Amino acid sequence: MTLHREGTTIILGSLITYLILSALNGIYIFPFSNILAYLIYTFLIVMLVLIIQFFRIPKRKNTYKTNEITCPADGKVVVIEETTETEYFKDKRIQVSIFMSPLNVHANYYPIQGTLPFVKYHPGKFLVAWHPKSSTDNERTSIVVKNEDGKEILIRQIAGAVARRICYYGQENEEVKQAGELGFIKFGSRVDLFLPLDTKIDVNLNQKVQAKLTTIGFLS
């Protein structure tokens, strides 16, 4: 397991803060109350560990089948439904949404191989990720991948109430690999997939999924 580069500044800042607060705790609290001092030490360590683990990147390898759509994020499937996608396709699609809690790995990956005909970032609000309007009102990015057969998938990274920064790395017309790094969302969020109606879905509602490993479905 490694740590994601997006966490370098935050982890270093958290480590410095931990050292400063620990020193102050030892100087001003410990002489008066051992119990309170130990509680503060414990709290600081737990917070530091949580921040470090948030940026973890486990090593995962997989072999993909023809037309397989791989999971772009760790989390839980919270939506599987037919809906109208209004930004790019402007028609009906199957939406699969994955909620990412602060305890999940937050790196995102491309579900298929292809080119990027559309990449767009939207500034916005920070509603809770399960709010009905979060997919249209929150800070988000919309990224479309088109495979060699002309099939297109839209991936939407959505910020949540805790997430305050969406990172994405692809540029329009760039070629990307399946399970290649798409981006990163910091501290809680959601990823939506908009798939063709004839896609064979291979996950269930409330199923826990893992990026690169879980199969979302297959393109026809």
The string of pLDDT tens digits covering residues 5-31 is 777 888 899 899 989 999 998 888 888
Q: What is the tens place of the pLDDT at every residue in 77-106?
A: 999 999 999 999 999 999 999 998 878 888
**Are residue 103 and residue 43 in the same domain, yes or no?**
no
Identify the domain boundary among 16, 34, 57. Answer: 57
Catalytic residue among 33, 97, 189, 220: 189
The CATH number of the domain holding residue 103 is 2.70.70
Residue 62: inside a domain, yes or no?
A: no
Residue 34: inside a domain, yes or no?
A: yes
All residues at 6 or more sequence positions from 180 whose CB lies less than 8 Å from its CB, including other chains? 109, 110
Task: Say how many domains are in the chain.
Answer: 2
C-alpha 126/C-alpha 105 separation (Å) is 20
Both tokens of 53, joined, read 């683990």
**Are residue 33 and residue 102 in the same domain, yes or no?**
no
Residue 168: inside a domain, yes or no?
A: yes
Residue 189 is among the residues annotated as catalytic for this protein: yes
**Are residue 47 and residue 114 in the same domain, yes or no?**
no
Residue 122: inside a domain, yes or no?
A: yes
Identify the domain boundary among 57, 80, 102. Answer: 57
Give the domain range for residue 179: 68-218
